């Protein structure tokens, strides 16, 4: 039986490897972490925001590449090191890295305890986790080696660290993060967006329209950029979703040497009540209710009731929230283009580096396909694909809503054209043409796809790392599929996994370790662990064309 105290090093979904070579003969390179300030002041926090924003805006597709790019002003002071990160590592790595480069104190949760008891995966505990251990960067005369320390932090943290009660306020075993107010001052570059289904992203920009842009890493080291949408589930405060900011800390009782270095002392965290931006707004709503009533909380702005996600954009929008539907279509399509290109890189890594398509198909699925370890964690894509499908569905639903808003002259809609469905279709087609996607089949032949092509095969995209690249990209036509080397067993598995491909909800708490026979037999449903029988509608282009044809027929 596992100990009730589960250290994240043994529960980690997010791993970090630093490959360190000999130090380059470059002036200014230092690997020592010396504490020269006893707290982060406003200029440090602003510097960290700018640091994260620059990395988010850079055209880089791994965090290592971002940290070696011109977006990182400290890149020339680094030793030869390769950063390999997954989702939960990113906030800790970047915060720790910035603290190292600026002589700032840094501390972290080193052990978590699940409210569910000794069994189960602490990353997905039903009642959240509490902090039972903390560590910090030692304040010493000559400093401590930074890279091994960052490695230690990364081997400790997991998404379990973010799954804590937002009302927690322990003076000693405090949480690294706090729940922020929902406005542009509190939701900013560096804010964490925690998805309770096992993913962590970092805010890098809040657009004037209130859209929150984020980036995140994956087990295969790929980085993607998208925005906060409905795939980030709002839950009760005990699970810590969605937004979290770094809690202010201070080094107290330390002695400052003539060199400016602090020695000794201990780290204390700022209590919630002393943090101006602390708020339970995302849980208790507006007007606020008791946190235990989060599920029925209402969100009202300017006397207008809204769902949480609309309220969020309204709160973060500069001025009144306005929907410019054609512009929204362009943004959604551009984001999906980035998501698909990131997926392309992930499939390439699975095929070229992992050679998973050459491995034999196991006789069972993992206990849970969304949260596991080993080959499946590194090279499968069920979570990534579920988020992708959710984004496509959100675009479809949003498009339908824009049409409905136009029909009732909704005040939030800002559109001055004469034909909204046609203009939305034009925007869709423009972005579709501007986003060529290509993958190489097993025989080396290149297959070119568009976003619209992917829509038509979205629920055929295989998440299974043991399948050929053609099936990873949803090939069904004989000509495209002819080069796939999958035998009868893998083909049977691919067909049996259709229900799981239809499912866009990530059910981390369901046992899913079925055999192929069990998948084939069903039953199907969200709680079955075998997928759902019917995929949702996501074909935006078909909807717009159908709407225009129906309108023409009625004239």
> Where do the domains of the chain lie?
5-15+33-282, 325-521
The per-residue pLDDT for 221 is: 87
Residue whose structure tokens are 């406003």:
42
Alpha-carbon gap, residue 313 to 206, rounded angstroms? 10
Angle at 8 between CA 244 and CA 377, to 5 degrees: 90
Residues 462 and 472: their CA atoms lie apart, in Å, by 4
Are 439 and 344 within 8 A, CB to CB?
Answer: yes
- Measured distance between the N- and C-terminal CA atoms of the chain, rounded to whole angstroms: 71
Give the pLDDT of residue 28: 55
What pLDDT sits at residue 30?
Answer: 74
Residue 286: how many CB atoms within 10 A of its CB?
17
Q: Is the pLDDT of residue 176 over 90?
A: yes
Average pLDDT over residues 78-100: 94
Instruction: Check pLDDT > 50 for residue 15.
Output: no
Q: Using 50, 70 and 90 to split pLDDT, how confident is the model at 300?
A: very high
Compute the distance between CA of residue 435 and CA of residue 126 in angstroms, rounded to an integer: 40
The residues pairing with 301 across neighbouring beta strands, listed in sequence order, are 304
pLDDT digits (tens, 9 = 90+) for 447-495: 999 999 999 999 999 999 999 999 999 999 999 999 999 999 999 999 9
pLDDT value, residue 29 = 61
pLDDT of residue 278 exceeding 60, the answer is yes
Residues in CB range of 217: below 8 A, 6 or more apart: 14, 62, 63, 85, 86, 87, 89, 90, 223
Residue 552's pLDDT is what? 83
CA-closest candidate to residue 172, choices 109, 262, 253, 246: 109
* Measured distance CA(381)–CA(346) in Å, rounded: 8
Alpha helices in 349-419 (DSSP H): 374-379, 382-407
pLDDT score of 132 more than 50: yes
Minimal CA–CA distance to 218: which of 337, 383, 75, 76?
Answer: 383
Q: Has residue 220 got a pLDDT over 90?
A: no
Mean pLDDT, the chain, whole residue set: 93
The per-residue pLDDT for 520 is 97
According to the model, what pLDDT value does residue 10 have? Answer: 31
The pLDDT score that the predictor gives to residue 358 is: 97
Strands (E) across 98-183 are located at 107-114, 129-136, 144-145, 177-178
With a cut of 70, say whether residue 9 has pLDDT above it.
no
Helix, strand and coil in the chain, % to nearest 5? 40, 15, 45
């Amino acid at each position: 039986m596992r100990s009730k105290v589960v250290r994240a090093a043994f529960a980690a979904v997010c791993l970090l490897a630093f490959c360190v070579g000999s130090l380059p003969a470059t002036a200014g390179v230092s690997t020592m972490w010396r504490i020269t300030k006893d707290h982060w002041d406003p200029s440090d926090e602003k510097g960290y925001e700018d640091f994260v924003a620059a990395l988010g805006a850079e055209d880089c597709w791994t965090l290592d590449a971002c940290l070696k790019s011109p977006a990182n002003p400290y890149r020339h002071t680094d030793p030869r090191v390769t950063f390999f990160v997954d989702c939960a590592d990113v906030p800790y790595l970047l915060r720790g890295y910035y603290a190292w480069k600026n002589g700032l104190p840094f501390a972290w949760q080193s052990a978590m305890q699940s409210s569910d008891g000794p069994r189960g995966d602490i990353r997905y505990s039903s009642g959240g986790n509490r902090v039972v251990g903390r560590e910090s960067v030692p304040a010493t005369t000559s400093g401590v080696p930074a890279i091994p320390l960052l490695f230690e932090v990364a081997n400790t943290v997991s998404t379990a660290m973010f799954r804590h009660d937002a009302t927690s306020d322990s003076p000693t075993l405090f949480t690294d993060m706090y729940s922020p107010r929902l406005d542009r001052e509190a939701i900013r570059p560096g804010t964490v967006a925690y998805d309770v289904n096992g993913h962590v992203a970092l805010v890098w920009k809040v657009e004037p329209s209130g859209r929150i842009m984020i980036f995140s890493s994956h087990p295969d080291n790929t980085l993607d950029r998208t925005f906060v949408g409905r795939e980030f589930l709002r839950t009760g405060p005990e699970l810590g979703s969605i937004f979290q900011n770094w809690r202010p800390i201070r080094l107290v009782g330390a002695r400052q040497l003539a060199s400016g270095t602090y020695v000794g002392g201990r780290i204390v965290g700022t209590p919630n009540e002393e943090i101006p931006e602390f708020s339970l707004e995302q849980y208790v709503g507006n007007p606020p209710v008791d946190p235990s009533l989060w599920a029925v909380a209402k969100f009202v702005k300017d006397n207008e009731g809204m769902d949480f996600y609309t309220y969020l954009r309204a709160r973060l929008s500069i001025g009144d929230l306005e929907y410019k539907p054609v512009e929204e279509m362009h943004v959604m399509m551009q984001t999906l283009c980035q998501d698909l290109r990131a997926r392309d890189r992930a499939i390439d890594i699975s095929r070229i580096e992992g050679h998973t398509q050459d491995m034999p198909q196991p006789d069972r699925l993992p206990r849970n396909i969304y949260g596991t370890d080993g080959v499946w964690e590194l090279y499968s894509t069920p979570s990534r694909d579920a988020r992708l499908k959710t984004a496509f569905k959100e675009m479809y639903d949003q498009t339908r809503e824009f049409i409905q808003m136009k029909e009732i002259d909704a005040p939030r809609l800002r559109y001055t054209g004469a034909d909204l469905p046609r203009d939305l279709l034009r925007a869709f087609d423009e972005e579709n043409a501007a986003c060529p996607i290509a993958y190489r089949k097993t025989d080396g032949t290149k297959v070119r796809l568009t976003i619209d092509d992917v829509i038509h095969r979205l629920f055929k995209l295989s998440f299974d790392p043991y399948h050929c690249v053609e099936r990873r990209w949803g090939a069904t036509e004989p000509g495209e599929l002819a080069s796939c080397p999958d035998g009868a067993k893998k083909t049977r598995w691919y067909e049996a996994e259709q229900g799981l491909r239809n499912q866009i909800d990530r059910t981390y708490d369901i046992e899913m370790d079925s055999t192929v026979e069990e998948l084939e037999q069903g039953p199907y449903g969200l709680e079955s662990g075998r997928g759902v029988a019917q995929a949702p509608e996501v074909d935006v282009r078909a909807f717009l064309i159908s709407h225009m044809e129906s309108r023409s027929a009625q004239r």
